[in-house]
Structure 1
Amino acid sequence: MWLRDELLKSIWYAFTALDVDHRGKVSKSQLKVLSYNLCTMMRIPHEPTAFEEHFKDDNEGPLSNEGYMPYLNRYILDKVSEDFDVIEFYRMCWTLCYKKNIYAQRLIISDNDAFKVWCIFNFLSEDKYPLVIVIEEVEYLLRKLSEAMGIGWNEERFVDYKLQQNTKSSLPVWELIELVGLIYFSKGMERQILSMGINEVFSELILDILKQGYMMKKG
């Protein structure tokens, strides 16, 4: 079975994307639709009556992430099997959130490559919310991408980047996507080569592990 924590990361982005007022709460009607979509993607029978019964004392809404979590765990995640397309599940959650958080036209990478960076970020991030990636993992990813593109690692360039960050020790996913798709590899880098590098790292860290039937952090 897929690790619950890995699935929750993507669902968290879907939930926060629906929180248009940034109050940490989402309407019941939106969560009902989200629950239906999650069940559909995970091939879990949807129980609309269970949703209404579970939230019968919250008719006024909206619901917080903490308020939604018990339902999500009991009626959806507890019923997850391995018989669903995890990448398409990730893509559904990505589709809900990315246009609200990045200006894709600025990037030198495609939406699909940005999605792959998002998946890699979720894999490397810790299970603490809001999700961030620590600077050591940023270096790890940039090294992997440099190696995949055959350009070699430029230690001086990364040191300069860290100095520009001042005391910043972590990045949210949208800043990482901009770092990879706009800032770090933009000078003299062909889009096709960067795309191939992202795809290679995505295949190694995400697809190959999914094919093995389990999720495991790098050791």
Structure 2
Amino acid sequence: MLSRDEILKPIWYAFTALDLDRNGKVSKSQLKVLSHNLCTILRIPHNTSALEEHFKDDDEGPVSTQGYMPYLNMCILNKIQANFDFNELNKMCWTLSAPKHISGKHLLISGVDAFKIWCIFNYLSEDKYPLQIVIEELEYFLRKLFAAMGCSWNEDRFEDYKMQLTNKTKTWKHKVFKHEGLLQIIQPGTKSPTKMTNWGQAAFTETELDELERIWQENKNRSHDAQ
């Protein structure tokens, strides 16, 4: 049977597709539909009262008090049957998420092939969110795929693509670290400003990093306008 981590990957896409305002909240009515579809595909009884009980303090507007993940774990994932069709789960989640991420007008491959690539990406991606794939693993997979198809590998073209992908996946903190003098941060346990060299997870929360990024960008724009 598939691990819970593998099952969660497509479900995460389906849930985020329902987050229309991108604020981490989804309406209860949408969660009811998603939960019903998940229960049907995973072949478990659907208990609508359990979701109502879980979100009993969120009677109006998007649910948020307890979050969907505890309910998903307790009432759905813990009761999964071994004989469910994982491909059907992928198809359902893809149907919800695809319109949010791709446009048929600019797609150079068929919708069926796009779905297959999405499944491969989910399979190879790390078990953390948002889902990302290690570039070296992507290169290994593509080399094998090209060889199986009898196609030649264009090293220069992939190096250009890898550079673009690396720049996109690097977080703001890595970019700031390389940009000398733009920002000084007070390290935990010190009283004087100094350039941050320890980017460990315990240093700042995501909210703090977002605020620091905003301040850094404002200072950068202000400096540019003054020139």
TM-score, normalising length from structure 2? 0.69
Deviation of the 1:146 alpha carbon: 0.9
SS at match of 2:153: coil
- Please say which of residues 160-169 and 102-111 is displaced more in the overlay: 160-169
Distance, in Å, in 2 between the alignment partners of 1:66 and 1:142 is 41
Q: Deviations over 1:47-102 (max 9, x none)?
A: 01111112112223413497100000000000012111110111000000101210
Matches within 5 A, 1:1-219: 1-64=1-64, 67-165=67-165, 167-169=167-169
- 1:126-153: CA deviation from partner (whole Å, max 9, x where unpaired): 1111111122122123213212211132
Q: Tell me by how many angstroms 1:104 deviates.
A: 2.1
- The one-letter amino acid of 1:14's match is A
Asked if 2 retains the 8 angstrom alpha-carbon contact of 1:135 and 1:169, the reply is no
Cα shift readout 1:192-217 (whole Å, capped 9, x = no counterpart): xxxxxxxxxxxxxxxxxxxxxxxxxx
Query: Counterpart of 2:31 in structure 1: which amino acid?
Result: L
Q: Which has the larger radius of gyration?
A: 2
C-alpha separation between the residues in 2 aligned to 1:53 and 1:65?
A: 12
How far apart are the structure 1 equivalents of 2:52 and 2:25? 17
Closer/same/farther in 2, CA of residues 108 and 66 from structure 1, 3 Å limit: farther
Partner-residue secondary structure (3-state), 2:20: coil
C-alpha spacing 1:85/1:51, structure 2 compared with 1 (3 Å)? same
Aligned residues of 2:14 and 2:96 also touching (Cα < 8 A): yes
Aligned CA distance change for structure 1 residues 38 and 88 (closer, same or farther; 3 Å): same
- How many Å separate the matches in 1 of 2:65 and 2:90? 19
Letter in 1 for 2:126: E
Task: Please tell me the residue identity of whatever aligns with 1:102.
Answer: I
d(CA) in 2 for partners of 1:10 and 1:66? 21
Report Cα offsets for 1:140-199 as digits up to 9, x if no partner: 2321321221113232322232344463457xxxxxxxxxxxxxxxxxxxxxxxxxxxxx
Name the structure, 1 or 2, with higher relative contact order (CA <8 Å, separation 6+).
1
Say if 1:134 and 1:169, in contact at 8 Å, map to a contact too: no
| Secondary structure at the counterpart of residue 104 of structure 1 | coil
In structure 2, the CA distance between the partners of 1:84 and 1:163, relative to structure 1 (3 Å rule), is: closer
**What's the secondary structure of 2:123's corresponding residue?**
helix
Q: Distance in 2 between matches of 1:20 and 1:126?
A: 25
- Please give the root-mean-square deviation of Cα atoms over the aligned residues, in Å: 1.9
CA change 1:166–1:72 in 2 (3 A) is closer
Secondary structure of the 1:133 match is coil
8 A Cα contact 1:24 1:65, kept in partner: no
Q: What is the aligned length?
A: 170
The structure carrying a bigger helix percent of its residues is 1
Query: 1:199 — aligned with what?
Result: none
